[in-house]
Amino acid sequence: METEIRKFTTYLIEVKNASESTVKSYERDLKKLECFLREHGIEKIGQITGTNLNSYILYLERQGLSPATVSRNIASIRAFFQYEWRQRTIQEDPSEWLKPPHVERKAPGILTMEEVARLLEQPGKEHPKEIRDKAMMELLYATGMRVTELISLKVTDVNVNLNYVICRDGVKERVIPFGSEAKKALELYLNGARHLLVKNEQTENLFTNCSGKPMSRQGFWKLIKQYAQKADIRTDITPHTLRHSFAAHLVQNGADLKSVQEMLGHSDISTTQVYMNLASNRLKEVYAKTHPRK
């Protein structure tokens, strides 16, 4: 099965133009399945049955994995076997009847506008690293892009004169505008701080770490948690917090869902609908606290 997994990941990269994080996720899930099957004496892909796969899903559930994690594993397994079936490596798709568990969609954690303002005020304006951090956080909140998209930006993806950024997710591309605060932070970074961080002048990456290498998702998560602590923000910060806050604040201030959907890059508007629910709940909270005849 190892060879088939390798061919599948190559297909994801070369044909589907899947992102690096997506490919790694599929590969990780499938290698865990391969290990489970090998332990049960199954090493050839043609030997795998639907019963084997159902046994594996039960095994994952007994390990205490969340329904969301189990669902992601099932999605990886189904994509893999559908590919193998199309390649005629197998005669039947053993994953056809796998059903993911019900996953409750949790409301995303967001910051208040006041908390966002405090967070964005934390980086200083003297040290190159803090200037970079300020530019990254301002741009993230101004555009709502994913953290993976942010750290993958090239210098040529940003047009500071016309206030827009070209954001890419695999083969998909979208143009997102940004405002004056993000523009000021980017100009300060590009005009002075970036060349002090980038060790190789040929580097195309917009943001790098202090060693001149591409910024990692984990690296960004650490720095944003540090600034949240400095800002005395008690809400748990995740890499997506500013993205969720961007969307919720837009909807709260009257933006239409279709526009927010396009900026976020959601393929299904029902995914964006959650921010409308957040805004509605927020209005109810304000009413309950402030209306004299509540």
Q: Please give the positions annotated as active site.
A: 172, 243, 266, 275
Which residue is listed with tokens 């088939």? Answer: 4
As a whole number of angstroms, the distance between CA 131 and CA 185 comes to 7
> Could you write out the DSSP letters of every residue in 61-105?
HHTT--HHHHHHHHHHHHHHHHHHHHTTSSSS-TTTT--PPP---
Residue 57 identity: I
Q: CB count, 10 Å around CB of 199?
A: 12
As a whole number of angstroms, the distance between CA 99 and CA 147 comes to 30
> Could you write out the DSSP letters of every residue in 139-195?
HHHHH---HHHHHT-BGGGEETTTTEEEEEETTEEEEEE--HHHHHHHHHIIIIIHH
Q: Checking phi first, is residue 288 left (phi over 0); if not, alpha (psi -120 to 50) or beta?
A: alpha
Which residue is listed with tokens 């002090």? Answer: 196
The answer to whether 50 and 96 are in contact (CB under 8 A) is yes
As a whole number of angstroms, the distance between CA 186 and CA 92 comes to 53
Angle 23-29-34 from CA coordinates, rounded to 5°: 120
Angle 17-56-75 from CA coordinates, rounded to 5°: 25
